[in-house]
Structures are given as structure tokens and as C-alpha cells.
Amino acid sequence: MRATIIGLDVAKLVFQVHGVDAQGKTVLTKRLRRDGVRAFFATLPPCLVGLEACASAHFWARELAQLGHTVRLMPPQYVKPYVKRHKNDRADAEAICEAVQRPSMRFVAIKTPEQQSTLVLHRVRALLVRQRTQLINALRGHLAEFGIIAPQGAHKVAELTARLADPGDERIPTLAKTVLQSLVDHLRDAERRIGELETQLAEQAKGDEVCRRLMTIPGIGPMVATALVATVGDAKTFTSGRHLAAWLGLVPLQHSSGNTERLGHITKAGDGYVRQLLVHGARAVVRWWRTTSPWLAGLLQRRPMNVVTVALANKTARIAWAVMVRGETYRRPGPAVAAPGGEGPCVPLAPV
């Protein structure tokens, strides 16, 4: 009997394979070294291969798909309930093999090398931003020991560097000046690299037709547009904009039962990086459009600022889904007008 469904537990060096036949009987259990994975699957007839969507999973999915296999990626949290007992590679591979057969299982789209390259740009920029924050905090803390402070904000750091470079300021000993100047050099280098990466992302957004359409939505710029396109890929995999917003974690946590609905704060589910970008963009829109948008003004009267910001981020995600699926640019809704026949207001259609 040959294996028709295989669960593959990927790792750095040692991979575990678990295969079953058409009747669900285990016919294959094997450990593989990393350099022997491709050769092993090349000898197998085409079959369904399930993997957890973890580190290097998209690479192996593309490699196995080139060999003629049908590959399905699954979120690890959806596979975990199928682990029978204990945590080891063999049990994980068996659970993956079981989960990939479920008709209600939700799968992860396989990313292309181009999508992963864009995400690498975003991740490296985010790392450099964190390092810049660490350098600024270190510089502020050390200079405060000598009584030198500046107002909060990254744009106020120039005051600190100017005082550090002032030869007439004798409050800082020479030894401390030399060491702190190395922090300033690292800070300027990080800012330069961040600027270069942001320029690359802006150029990429200008050259991508989907990104250009997304940037017509208020609150979405080159950063958000490129991150959305690289993370989501084909938006048609989501049946509606609400599903995309839920996938990004922009929906409240539910503790509902029967006829009682209990909605809490948003969870940490979904892609936290894209969710963060959408929330930051929504915060800028709330700040500048709060007096010109009747929807925002009415919501701010009933809800706190942060709740309104997340609600707008949710709405932005749903609009982005419509723009990506329909191939249109965003059309801002105009003022309500009377509907024919006096049946109430009629609002121009816009992607939602």
C-alpha cells in the first residue's frame, strides 16, 4: 500500500514523516535529514502533503510542489488539537497528517519568493526601528546622569547630539563623550538604513498596480500597501472583507453562549505586524478627519478614542479587501441624498 496523505514535521536538521493510505492506515513512518528530504519525496508518487505554517514551511511547500505533490499549509494552533499525547516529532507528524484531511480545516496560502522578499524588507526595517529606539533611550539615560535632558520624541534627539558635540560643554567628561559619540554614530547609521529601506518600499509600491490602488484608501500608504499585498497575496482566498479583518485579528474576542453575546477586546490572533500598521494608519485618519467625517464624529461621541481607532482599522481592512478583489480604486462616499420616491437617504456605493 502506498501513502496518499503525508504529514511532514519540518525542523532545522531532522524531519519526521508520517504517511497513511486511502483507508487511513499508517503505511509510512520515517525520519529524514534535511539534505535527504527532496530526494525522498522525489521517489514518491504524487500525494497530499501537509505542513505546519512555520519557519521555512513556504520554502519546502514550493520545493515539494515542484515535485508534483499537492501541498497544504496549516496554522500550528489548528494542528495542536490533533496531537494525541506528549510532544515529539513523531506525534506532531501524525497530527499534521490527521489535520490535513479535515474538510473544515483552514489552510495558509503558499507565499512566493517575491512576497517573502518584501516581508524581509519589512522585518529588517522593524528590527532597525527597535534598535534605533534602544540607542535613543540609552543616549537619553546616559546624558541624564550628567544633567543633560531633552523633550520626549525621536525628533528631539538632535538637541542631545548637538550638546554632545559642543566642545564648550564641560559637563560631560571626555571619556564619556568618546563612548557616547559611538552611540550617536550607530544611531545615524540606523536612521540611514531605515531611510533606504523605506525608499525601496516606496518604489516597490509605485511599481505595483495593486499597491497603487490600495494607497487611494485613507490610512494606507506605501508601508501598509506593500505589507498587505505581501502578506495576503490573493485576496480572493477570503470570502469577504469581514473574513480578512477577522484573519488580521481586528475583531473582538467572544465569550458568547445562547442568546447572550459577550464581546471583549481584540485578541493577539492574526498577523500582528500588519494589524499594527493598519491601526497606526487609522489613528492618523482619526486625528485629521474626526471633524470632517460624520461617521467618525458620531462614533467618537459614543466610544473611546482607541476603540474608534480599531473600528476604523477594521473598516480599512474590509475596504482593502474590496479594492484588491474588485480591481477598483477607493471611492470616498459622498453626502447622503434623497432616494427616488422619498424612501429615505441614498448613499453612493463605495467598496466596503
Long-range contacts from 43-48, C-beta under 8 angstroms, 24+ separation: 44/2, 44/3, 44/6, 44/69, 45/2, 46/70, 47/2, 47/3, 47/4, 47/5, 47/6, 47/19, 48/4, 48/5, 48/6, 48/72, 48/100
Q: What is the predicted pLDDT for the residue at 338?
A: 41
DSSP state of 69: -
Tell me the torsion sign for CA atoms 195, 200, 206, 208: negative
What local confidence, expressed as pLDDT, does residue 334 receive? 63
Q: Name the residue with cell 524588507.
A: 121
> What is the DSSP annotation of 293-347?
-HHHHHHHHHS-HHHHHHHHHHHHHHHHHHHHHHT---------EEPTTS-SEE-
C-alpha separations of 98 from 14, 28, 41, 105, 185 in Å: 21, 14, 19, 11, 54
Of the candidates 327, 329, 315, 313, the one whose C-alpha atom is nearest the C-alpha of residue 241 is 315
Phi/psi class of residue 335: alpha, beta or left (left: φ > 0; alpha: ψ in -120 to 50)?
beta
- Write the DSSP string, 127-155: HHHHHHHHHHHHHHHHHHTTT----SSGG
Look at domain 5-99 and name its CATH class: alpha beta
Q: How does DSSP classify residue 109?
A: P
Specify whether the CB–CB gap between 329 and 216 falls below 8 A.
yes
pLDDT number for residue 174: 87
**327: region left, alpha or beta (phi > 0 left; psi from -120 to 50 alpha):** left
User: What confidence score (pLDDT) does residue 351 get?
Assistant: 38
pLDDT for position 112: 93
Cα–Cα distance for residue pair 301/319, rounded to 1 Å: 23
Mean pLDDT in each 10-residue stretch from start to end of the chain (352 residues)? 91 94 92 94 94 93 96 94 90 95 92 94 96 94 90 88 84 89 94 96 95 94 95 90 92 83 82 93 90 85 91 94 93 57 39 36
Would you call 21 helix, strand, or coil by DSSP? coil
In 34-143, which ranges are E strands? 48-52, 70-74
Q: 50 with 97: CB under 8 angstroms?
A: yes
C-alpha cell at 299: 462614533
All 3 cell numbers of residue 87? 510532544
